Structure 1
Amino acid sequence: MANPSIYNVPNALTAVRFALAIAVVALIPLEEFWAALVVFLVAVSTDWMDGYWARKYGQVTKLGRIFDPFVDKIIICGTFIALVGVPGSPVKPWMATIVVARELLVTSLRGIIEGAGGDFSARWLGKWKMVVQCAAVVAAMLSLALDPTPNWLPLTTQVLLWGAILITVYSGAEYTLIAGRVMQTDPQTPVDREELDAS
């Protein structure tokens, strides 16, 4: 059976999300927070569409397996980094550092395991991490966009940011333990047979 073409709808959707991610990162330093928030929400809310389409119509490609999680990381890491540079932002440099470091670590581990023929697919904790991180970003943008800021928003933003950092660290540690176990045994031993559409 021939491999599906890389020129398909799922990869096109992922490319659009990549462009939206760049737009978010560009809008935040300009302090166009409402526009950045709308574009961010469109980008993350359509994340499931490319994976769903690829599986339903048999258009899963090696490029898509790499490109889709890469774009997810650009959206989250790029937005956290951009928010750090905004005066009065609730996102601190150390928070963005932890988020980026975790993504680099897991990507490196996945490359080693899957490069050796093993399976290092995404776990549900990785999907929940993405959800909490997105919620923290939305709250941070709202805290910058709303003037005056509602009384409930600063605390909510801090809770979501700390929750995002904690789940980021925990999921990174989980992936590291899994990778260590696999590399000590057989790198071709399946780890968790779940769809690779988040990490």
Structure 2
Amino acid sequence: MNLAMSSTASRNIYNVPNALTTVRFALAIAVMALIPLGYYGSAMVVFLIAASTDWMDGYWARKYGQITKLGRIFDPFVDKIIICGSFIALVEVAGSGVASWMATIVVARELLVTSLRGIIEGAGGDFSASWLGKWKMVLQCAAVVSVLLCLFNEPAATWLRVTTSILLWSSIVLTVYSGYDYTLAAARVMRDQGDR
């Protein structure tokens, strides 16, 4: 009886992890609304809350057995909204340093990896996130925070502008490289599946 109840609870989409992900989604929308309005300080605080609580829903789901199909789709979707939406919103801001081609690369990489994951996992393969992908996310978050900090402190100090430029360009380079790495990994998985 207890096992059946536990199994039913773990499949219930109305749980804490999915609620946390929903809150993060709302925060992501708030960031995209605050940036065009020029509330860079508020956008930075909200972005930090949304990005830094990313681990909470996954941790809770694993610890209490509340992993659901919705959560497996919704959580990475919200991660992409937070990053892609922030980069796109910053393109419109003069002096942000975020060019349209940078936002395009970020969005294209996420679409590519999501498509590859869907194909491979749909065929029964494993295409879990790599450490390179996690570090890419960290660097992208650091770049967004640094850009917002620069805009909030306009005119920003030289060291802050240099740091922001380094973080921004480094995040784009790692975004491209991680996309390339995932593509190679996907090719190996699909090759192995074809050999069976």
Correspondence for 2:26 among 12, 19, 28:
19
Matches within 5 A, 1:121-136: 121-136=128-143
Unaligned runs of 5+ in 2: none
Relative distance call for 1:187 and 1:10 in structure 2 (3 A) is farther
Aligned to 1:146: 153
Relative distance call for 1:45 and 1:188 in structure 2 (3 A) is farther
Aligned to 2:179: 172
RMSD: 1.4
Aligned to 1:79: 86
**What CA distance in whole angstroms lies between the structure 1 residues aligned with 2:68 and 2:194?**
22
Q: Which SS does the other structure have where 2:157 is aligned?
A: coil
Runs of 4+ aligned structure 1 residues displaced above 3 Å come to none
TM-score (norm 2): 0.93
Give the helix-richer structure, 1 or 2: 2
Relative distance call for 1:57 and 1:150 in structure 2 (3 A) is same
Structure 1 residue 148: deviation in Å? 2.7
Larger Cα-atom Rg: 2
Correspondence for 1:161 among 146, 168, 173:
168
Q: Which SS does the other structure have where 2:158 is aligned?
A: coil
Contact 1:113–1:179 (Cα < 8 Å) also in 2: yes
Unaligned runs of 5+ in 1: 190-199
TM-score (norm 1): 0.92
Equivalent pairs: percent with the same residue?
Answer: 72
Contact 1:77–1:99 (Cα < 8 Å) also in 2: yes
1 or 2 for the larger relative contact order (CA 8 Å, sep ≥6)?
Answer: 1
Q: How many residues align?
A: 189
- CA deviation vs aligned residue, 1:11-65 (integer Å, no higher than 9, x gap): 0000000000000001100011011001000000111000000000000111111
Q: Which SS does the other structure have where 1:29 is aligned?
A: helix
**What CA distance in whole angstroms lies between the structure 1 residues aligned with 2:181 and 2:39?**
37
Indicate whether 1:60 and 2:67 are aligned: yes
